[in-house]
Each structure stands twice: as structure tokens, then as C-alpha cells.
Amino acid sequence: MAKKWIIRTYDREHVNLLERNAHIHPLLAQLLIGRGVERPDQVSGFLQPKLTGLREPSLLPGCVETAQRLLDAIQNDRKITVYGDYDVDGMTATAILRQAIRLLGGQVDYYLPSRLTEGYGLNSGAIRALAAQGTQLIITVDCGINSIEEAKTAKELGVELLITDHHTPGKTLPDAAAITHPQIGNTYPFQELSGSTVALKVAWSLCQQATESDQQKQGTNQQSADSDNSGGVKVSPKMREFLMQAVVFAALGAVADVMPLVDENRALVRFVLERGLRDYATLGLRELLQVAKIDTSKTLTAELIAFQIAPRLNAAGRLGLAQLGVELLVTDKPERAKELSQYINNLNETRQKIEREITRAAIRQIDELFLPDDPAYVLADIGWHVGIIGIVAGKLCEKYNRPVILLAKDKMENKPATGSGRAVPEMNLYNALEACSDYLIRFGGHAAAAGVSVEDSQIDLFREAFCEYVAAAIPSEQREAELTIDAEFPFSAFDVAMVKRIESMAPFGQCNARPIICTRGVTLAEPPKTMGADKRHFTATFRQHQQTLRAVAFGAAEWVDEMQQCGGAFDVAFHPVINEFRGFSKVELQLLDWKQSE
């Protein structure tokens, strides 16, 4: 769909001041100001974040008490279960605490609910089954903060419950022995930690307290000369090695969970891209990188985590096999690591195939059942995979700039349909579902994404009510998709040195988007064509004055015919990137949008 271009405006005097005082290029000054880095003293911290900038775990609400209770359970040989979530953030968080407890000699296993049969978070049935198997302490990761009834079940069964989470807490907290959460009490300086980073802080505190306990038992405060400092308490080299692996896991979880890449998240991800994946990846993760054909000797990006590593791990969770994702991350058996990495890669290929099939079917429904000015799409079909419809809903929401809900109808007539929805920023999806709740069995989620369950007989009524709500919430004049552009510069501005300056702002992601540049009045130096094995992608070469630059656009094969039919000059919006091939570096464009020049 056509997008409205919004080009950021800047105070030229402010840009010049930052350029002079921070000694940076004017384009870099402009881009930094657009991301809230407005003072010279902020520039260095943003462009060169350090792992040493991570805050002490003692500052995180509940962290010290949670670690103390874990250490007590380890020292008393109580059986511990780490209870995680089935996405990458949950898998990596589970791996962190499982490894920490094992490192200290604890008796530990892990449990991740099936996305297909149990759904998200703690459930009482699983708690009862774990208690029956001898679990005495459950520690949650990436879930549990709103599990009021489940906490009661654990208490009734005599199972100690520790909760570590990062999701928004409700008005009432669960009755747990300890809760670690960055938003409780509003005292923690940065409240946008991932579930895996919360787990990292607990593991860090656990290592500190175990070290202090050992020193007290030995009757000395003497510390090993070859140990390393970890937040004021020196831990053993073995603990330090584990904590560095945990940092890698935390960074994967932060990127995969689309956490803001600022503050602590930025420091974690920057370190892992520059060193962590090369020096501290576990055996299974190294095998997964190899299967994905990722060369850690080259420049790595957060997009690589988001689009190459995370989808492979997520595929296991989406297809009901999240346990295998954790096993891959923690295994120390080379053959098992190879077997799991290949199997998970195959799962991802299966997921991609299913996703393409659902997407094609959903687009057909949109074309057949909806009008171009309809405010939202509620689509339903028998046999759609409940673990994958959320991805498709997100892609269709982006493609059409409309709230989209996909419902997977069950083949059994008496079973309700399970749905997943995504919304545009202009509307709160949770509020919309709440307004339509008379037609739903249950629903849950937040402003941008949510899940629903609805009886087959109610789907049409729900669709009508949902579309009516969206029509009132988002007037027709606000339904045009927008593309915010950071700056307008000619092709001549973009040599390798300039693009490297832009790359110094990495890692790019949530709250630090890769800069979007526009250039006007370019022509085709070579006709556009499709590329890729399945011909789904677009490539063309543009000329402006005497300079030519190659452009690619993924999943945009339809642009080939559209651009050829238009002819003339174009305005293009793009990410400038560096393509490294056979030892040579050259600037290319990742084309995001285009239109005929006026």
C-alpha cells in the first residue's frame, strides 16, 4: 500500500552545535538528535556502550532474595524446576538459570509448556504434575507475574514459587515466595529488560552469593588472584565463563523479544555482536550458527539475530517443541548439538512453508471478502496452524496497515477457534477485544498483540463488532501507512566511510531503528528484476547524476512490473548498507519504498 512520507525536521543550529562539540559528521549529528542523543556528553556513551555499564543485580527488585532462596534450595539438595516460556526469550532465560543452578551443584530440570496444548505461562496442571514428580521449588522465567491462581495451586501443594518476569504486572501480585521484576516499585532505573536479562541478573547474584558463602565457610575473605570482578564480588573463572555465556543468551532474548535497544539492552547486544557470539557461544549455539551459515568472523548485526537465529529457535516453540530449543542451547554433547541444530533448522523450513501457505490463503480471503476501505480484517479458516497465525497476522498488519486477526478453526465442530491478532500503533488491540468480549470465550494480550478464543458460531458477529470498533477508533483519514524518514541526502553522500559512520550507531532495533534516508529524482540505470531461488525479491540499479547504486528489496517482487510501468524519475527511501563480497566493500541500498518524482 502507498505510504505517506514524513521527513524529520531538525534545528540546524542544534545539529551544527553537536557536530562541532562532539567532533562528528553532520549527518551523524542529525541522526543522533533524531534518537534523543542531543548533548555532546551523551554521544560517546551511545556510540560506545560498555558491558561494564550493566547495573548491579542488587538494584533489581527482588533479585537478591530470589537468589538467596535459590542458593538455599541448592545447598539443601531440593529439586528445582525452571519454568519458562516457549519463545526465544523464554528459552534463553530457562537456559541461563538451568546452567547457573547446575554450575553450583543443584538438582534441576526445566519445563516449557506446549504452545499448542497448554498456551502461555504457568498452568495449574503442570504445577501439579511437577509436584508429583518431586519438584520442591519452581522458579519462573519470562512468565508468572499475573499467575494469581497458579500461585495458589503451588502454595496448596507445598511447592515454593519464585517468579522472575518482565511482563506488565497487574494490580494484584501472585502470592510467591519472591518476585524479581524491573517494574515493581518503580525504583529500577531501566524497566525495559527482557525476561532473559532478568534471569541473567538472578544468575549473577546467585554466583556472587555462592562465592561469598564459600569464603565464609573457609573462614577467609582472601580471593583468588586469577578470579575476575563481578559487581564487587570476585567470582571464579568458571563462574565468569558461565556468566559470559549467559550474557550471550540474554542478548538473544532481548533482540528476539523486540526490547528497546537502549541503555542496558544496548550494552548487552553490542558486546555480543562484537565479541560474545564469537568467543562465548555454547556448543549448540555454535552449531546453529553454522547451520544458518553465519560467519562470526564478519560484522554481525542485531538484524542477523532477529531474522536468522531467533526464527530458528522460535520455530521449535511454534511447533510445540520448545524443550528442544533449550536442550540445543545447553547441551555439551557434540553429536547431539549437530543433530538438534539440523532438526531445528528443518523445523524452521517447515514453519516457513506453513507460513507462506497461510499467508497466501489469508490474502485470498482479503481480496474476496473485504473492500479496500474496510478498517480491519478478521480472517478464519480450518486447519491454520495456531503456532504460526500470529506471524502471518503481523505481516498482514504491516502490509495493509490495518489491525488483523487470524482465527484457526478446529476441524471438530464443537471446538472453538483460536486466534492471534496484531494492531497498528494508532489503536489499542486489548481495548478493542475488551469492547467485543461478548462474542469471545476469552482473550488476552496487550496494545499491539493479543490472542483470542471464539466459538465458530460467533465469528461473523465478532468480525462485525471488531470492524465497527476499529472504524470508530481510527478514522479513514488516519489509515494511510506512514514512513518516517530521518534525512534527505543525495547518492554522492554515501561512500563506504559515510555508511560506516551510520553503522557506528548499531545495534539497530526497537527505539533505535536503522536510519532511513530518501533521495529524489533518480533514474533506472538497469531494469529492475526479480532475484532469489523463488523469485520473491526485487533488485534494480539506480543512477543519480554520475553515481549508480544497486538496490534490493526483500519480498517485493511485485515492484518489478510496477516500476517498469511507471518509468521516468523516482524518489526512493532506503537503508544505506555495506555489502562485503570477496574482500571488497561497496555501498548498496535496502529499498523500503519508492514513488514517481513529482
How many CB atoms are closer than 10 A to CB 168? 10
- Those residues whose C-beta lies under 8 Å from the C-beta of residue 95, and which sit 6 or more positions away, are 249, 326, 329, 330
Close Cβ partners of 458 (under 8 Å, ≥ 6 residues apart): 439, 440
Question: Which cell goes with 268?
Answer: 548487552
Instruction: Label residue 220 by pLDDT band (50, 70, 90).
Output: low
Look at the block and give the residue holding cell 496497515.
401
pLDDT tens digits, 76-131? 999 999 999 999 999 999 999 999 999 999 999 999 999 888 888 899 999 999 99
Query: Reduced to 3 states, what is the DSSP secondary structure of residue 310?
Result: helix
Cell of 352: 516457513
The closest of 555, 584, 221, 561 to 395, measured between CA atoms, is 555
- The DSSP-derived string for 484-508 is EE-EE--GGG--HHHHHHHHTTPSP
Range list of H helices, 221-271: 237-256, 263-271
Percent with pLDDT over 70 in the chain: 97
Domains and CATH numbers, the chain: 3-8+483-596 (2.40.50.460), 57-215+227-342 (3.90.1640.30), 370-479 (3.10.310.30)
Q: Is 66 helix (H, G, I), strand (E, B) or coil?
A: helix
Model confidence pLDDT, tens digit, residues 487-497: 999 999 999 99
Q: Is pLDDT at 228 greater than 50 in this prediction?
A: no
pLDDT at 475: 87
Phi, psi of 443 (to 5 degrees): -155, 160
- In sequence order, the 6+-apart residues with CB closer than 8 A to the CB of 272 are 247, 248, 251, 252
* CB contact at 8 A, 443 and 457: no
Round to whole Å and give the CA distance between 224 and 45: 32
Report how far residue 145's alpha carbon sits from residue 149's, in angstroms, rounded to the nearest whole number: 11
Q: What would the pLDDT profile of 512-536 be if each residue is shown by its tens digit? A: 999 999 999 999 999 999 998 889 9
Query: Residue 281 in 3-state DSSP?
Result: coil
